[in-house]
Amino acid sequence: MTTALSRQRCWTHPRREAVSRCPSCAKFYCRECVTEHDGRLLCVQCLAAGTRPLAGPAGTRWGRLAALALLGLLVSFVVFYTSGYVLQQLPPAWTRGVESE
Ligand SMILES: [Zn+2]
Ligand SMILES: [Zn+2]
Protein backbone atom coordinates (compact mmCIF):
# COMPACT_ATOMS: atom_id res chain seq x y z
CA MET A 1 0.00 0.00 0.00
CA THR A 2 2.79 2.40 0.89
CA THR A 3 4.71 1.66 -2.30
CA ALA A 4 1.64 2.27 -4.46
CA LEU A 5 0.83 5.47 -2.63
CA SER A 6 4.36 6.88 -2.80
CA ARG A 7 4.25 6.77 -6.59
CA GLN A 8 1.11 8.88 -6.57
CA ARG A 9 1.27 12.65 -6.72
CA CYS A 10 -1.10 15.21 -5.26
CA TRP A 11 -3.95 16.12 -7.61
CA THR A 12 -3.48 19.85 -7.02
CA HIS A 13 0.30 19.78 -6.32
CA PRO A 14 1.95 17.55 -8.97
CA ARG A 15 5.38 18.06 -7.40
CA ARG A 16 4.32 16.75 -4.01
CA GLU A 17 3.92 13.15 -2.95
CA ALA A 18 0.42 11.99 -2.07
CA VAL A 19 -0.13 10.84 1.51
CA SER A 20 -3.79 9.93 1.36
CA ARG A 21 -6.60 9.21 -1.05
CA CYS A 22 -9.96 10.97 -0.86
CA PRO A 23 -12.67 8.29 -0.30
CA SER A 24 -15.24 10.44 -2.06
CA CYS A 25 -13.58 11.31 -5.38
CA ALA A 26 -10.82 8.62 -5.25
CA LYS A 27 -8.08 11.14 -6.10
CA PHE A 28 -4.71 11.32 -4.36
CA TYR A 29 -3.75 14.33 -2.29
CA CYS A 30 -0.90 15.60 -0.15
CA ARG A 31 -1.31 16.26 3.58
CA GLU A 32 -2.17 19.92 3.03
CA CYS A 33 -5.03 19.16 0.65
CA VAL A 34 -7.00 16.81 2.90
CA THR A 35 -9.00 17.60 6.01
CA GLU A 36 -10.33 15.15 8.58
CA HIS A 37 -14.10 15.08 8.64
CA ASP A 38 -16.12 12.48 10.61
CA GLY A 39 -13.05 10.25 10.90
CA ARG A 40 -12.36 10.34 7.15
CA LEU A 41 -9.73 12.30 5.24
CA LEU A 42 -11.61 14.26 2.60
CA CYS A 43 -10.16 16.64 0.05
CA VAL A 44 -11.12 20.32 0.15
CA GLN A 45 -13.42 20.05 -2.87
CA CYS A 46 -15.40 17.10 -1.49
CA LEU A 47 -15.55 18.69 1.95
CA ALA A 48 -16.99 21.89 0.51
CA ALA A 49 -19.43 20.01 -1.73
CA GLY A 50 -20.50 17.65 1.02
CA THR A 51 -21.04 20.05 3.90
CA ARG A 52 -22.46 23.16 2.25
CA PRO A 53 -25.78 21.84 0.83
CA LEU A 54 -26.60 20.03 4.09
CA ALA A 55 -26.26 23.09 6.30
CA GLY A 56 -28.19 25.55 4.11
CA PRO A 57 -31.42 24.46 2.38
CA ALA A 58 -32.06 21.46 4.65
CA GLY A 59 -32.35 23.66 7.72
CA THR A 60 -34.80 26.08 6.13
CA ARG A 61 -36.86 23.20 4.74
CA TRP A 62 -37.27 21.67 8.20
CA GLY A 63 -38.18 25.09 9.60
CA ARG A 64 -40.87 25.53 6.96
CA LEU A 65 -42.16 22.00 7.63
CA ALA A 66 -42.45 22.74 11.36
CA ALA A 67 -44.29 25.99 10.63
CA LEU A 68 -46.70 24.15 8.30
CA ALA A 69 -47.35 21.48 10.94
CA LEU A 70 -48.03 24.14 13.55
CA LEU A 71 -50.42 25.95 11.19
CA GLY A 72 -52.25 22.68 10.43
CA LEU A 73 -52.59 21.99 14.14
CA LEU A 74 -54.00 25.47 14.73
CA VAL A 75 -56.49 25.17 11.84
CA SER A 76 -57.71 21.75 12.97
CA PHE A 77 -58.10 23.04 16.54
CA VAL A 78 -60.21 25.99 15.36
CA VAL A 79 -62.34 23.72 13.12
CA PHE A 80 -62.98 21.21 15.94
CA TYR A 81 -63.69 23.96 18.44
CA THR A 82 -66.22 25.75 16.22
CA SER A 83 -67.95 22.51 15.16
CA GLY A 84 -68.30 21.52 18.82
CA TYR A 85 -69.73 24.94 19.60
CA VAL A 86 -72.24 24.70 16.71
CA LEU A 87 -73.35 21.22 17.86
CA GLN A 88 -73.95 22.56 21.36
CA GLN A 89 -76.12 25.37 20.00
CA LEU A 90 -78.41 22.98 18.06
CA PRO A 91 -81.92 22.58 19.48
CA PRO A 92 -82.21 19.41 21.64
CA ALA A 93 -85.41 18.36 19.81
CA TRP A 94 -83.56 18.05 16.52
CA THR A 95 -80.97 15.58 17.87
CA ARG A 96 -83.62 13.65 19.88
CA GLY A 97 -85.80 13.28 16.76
CA VAL A 98 -82.92 11.72 14.84
CA GLU A 99 -82.17 9.28 17.69
CA SER A 100 -85.81 8.03 18.04
CA GLU A 101 -86.03 7.08 14.36
ZN1 LIG B 1 -12.39 14.32 -2.85
ZN1 LIG C 1 -1.72 19.03 -2.39
Rounded to an integer, the average pLDDT of 53-72 is: 76
pLDDT in tens, 24-51: 999 999 999 999 988 889 999 998 887 6
Distance 60 CA to ligand 1 centre (A): 27
Domain range list for the chain = 2-54, 57-90
Closest-approaching ligand to the CA atom of 35: 1
Closest-approaching ligand to the CA atom of 43: 1
Rounded CA gap, 84 and 87, in Å? 5
Distance 62 CA to ligand 1 centre (A): 28
Q: Which alpha helices (H) appear in the chain, and where do they start and end?
A: 2-6, 44-55, 57-89, 92-100
Model pTM score? 0.45
Closest-approaching ligand to the CA atom of 8: 2
